[in-house]
Amino acid sequence: MKANDMLSDNTPVLAGVRVLDASRVLAGPFCGQILGDLGAEVIKIERPGQGDETRTWGPPFLSPPLAPGGRGVAGEGPLSAYYLSCNRNKKGLTLDLSKPKGVDVFYRLLEKSDILLENFRPDSAAKLGLIPEKMLERNPRLIICSISGFGRTGPMKDLPGYDFAIQGLSGLMSITGPAEGPPSKVGVAVTDVLTGLYGAVAVLACLHARKLSGHGYHIDLALLDCAVAAQVNVAQAYLTSGQVPPRQGNAHLQIVPYQAFQTADDWLILAVGNDGQFQRFCKAAGREDLAKDERFATNSERVRHREDLIPIIASLLKTRTADEWQKLLLEAEVPHAPVWNYQQLFEHPQAQARGLRVTVRAPDGKPVDLVGSPFQIDGATLPTPAMPPGLGQDTETILTQVLGLDARTIEQLKQQRVI
């Protein structure tokens, strides 16, 4: 018997865990998708007839084009690339939480769930009675993850939080962009993604703690807090020195040479992380004199004299093509990388080997490519990737199987437009 056979387990690591994903847009849905990727049953709750607004954030939309009136194939609402990116491995339920019967159904679902992800506005949630204290009264073992821009405390707690604004407020934009140019945002909604990741970590920690304590938890997670925490060494450099770090463009604040350089035909990242790598780079480039120069012998000195060194390396890199440099640097064991676009990335054998693109089936049977989950766990079986749900596609099944509602009651909820 092989070692991997002994570790084999057909049960997903989060099997038996039920998550209510009542969040919208990106941070909460991304957190829910992570839990779904690990095998939790994730029920995405959306407003009837509207759904998560990211369904309409496009183009691009899932082909074929939407029919008149914004409806898609098989009676589904529009499915944008944005929505597809953060809602796989979920079930879809529609529920109007502005109606008392909708809130009643919601609480009944809470009683049978382990985790709630929500980004309700505090004032709206209070009016509907959807505050953590009341929800924990109904289910004392519930783990609630409340996601907002600024958290539940502080003078900014009632302000809405948007990724672009948080990137600006967190200091992230101040260190991103060309050194002599304007501040820039990161090319993806990174503060939402980071918050989703921190949310998943906190939820799983509380899920473990509940086994010992027997009680639930309320997690108060803010985009601003997560964005600051994720700036690690650069934010810490300010706290340590008291000096506001300048933008470095594609360079590194504390390591030199560690940036993108233009070669004879393309861009190449040179990521020299220590003095030994610098010496090997100099030898491969035919410039061993640079390694012997006192100004460049150690990283600290290279940082201090970056304005002298970087122009020399920039001129040097332009003397060969990117492919030529990659061959030299690979042989010399100097960290480096080309700058790929998405086409180059997804066509590369490494992306194929790691499942960075997965193909699922739409309700009509047509193949749909999605970004894959990064989880590779020996000894566990992870769920087969599933198509993000159409608007309310599992409503009746969930209400029947989870709450035990009969067909008549479900039909009444439909007539009242609760679901």
Terminal alpha carbon distance of the chain: 51
73: left (phi over 0), alpha (psi -120 to 50) or beta: beta
Residue 69 has pLDDT above 50, yes or no: no
- Percentage with pLDDT > 90 across the chain: 85
Nearest Cα to Cα of residue 214 among 315, 132, 141: 141
Contacts 24+ apart (CB under 8 A), 47-50: 47/94, 47/95, 47/96, 47/97, 48/94, 48/95, 48/96, 48/392, 48/417, 48/418, 48/419, 49/94
3-229+354-415: CATH topology is Rossmann fold (3.40.50)
Q: How confident is the model at residue 122 (pLDDT cuts 50, 70, 90)?
A: confident
Q: How far apart are CA 40 and CA 17, in angstroms?
A: 5
Sort 239 into a burial class: Cβ within 10 Å, 0-12 / 13-18 / 19+: exposed
For residue 6, CA distances in Å to 1, 12, 37, 346, 375 come to 7, 16, 23, 33, 20
pLDDT digits (tens, 9 = 90+) for 172-216: 999 999 988 899 999 999 999 999 999 999 999 999 999 999 999
Three-state SS string over 336-354 comes to: EEECCCHHHHHHCHHHHHC
pLDDT digits (tens, 9 = 90+) for 165-175: 999 999 999 99
- Percentage with pLDDT > 70 across the chain: 94
Query: Comparing 126 with 359, which gets the higher pLDDT?
Result: 359
Give the start-to-end residue ranges of the domains of the chain. Answer: 3-229+354-415, 258-338
Which are the catalytic amino acids? Answer: 192
Residue 126 has pLDDT above 90, yes or no: no
Nearest Cα to Cα of residue 125 among 154, 92, 148, 94: 148
Residue 42: count of CB within 10 angstroms of its CB: 28
pLDDT digits (tens, 9 = 90+) for 3-53: 444 445 678 999 999 999 999 999 999 999 999 999 999 999 999 998 999
pLDDT digits (tens, 9 = 90+) for 352-408: 999 999 999 988 888 999 999 999 998 888 999 999 999 999 999 999 999 999 999
Average pLDDT, the chain: 92
Instruction: Identify each DSSP E strand in 285-366 by its residue range.
Output: 336-338, 357-361
Instruction: Give the mean pLDDT of 340-347.
Output: 95
Torsion of CA 342, 344, 346, 352, to 10 degrees: -160
Name the pTM for this structure.
Answer: 0.90
Residue 267 has pLDDT above 90, yes or no: yes
258-338: CATH topology is formyl-coa transferase, domain 3 (3.30.1540)
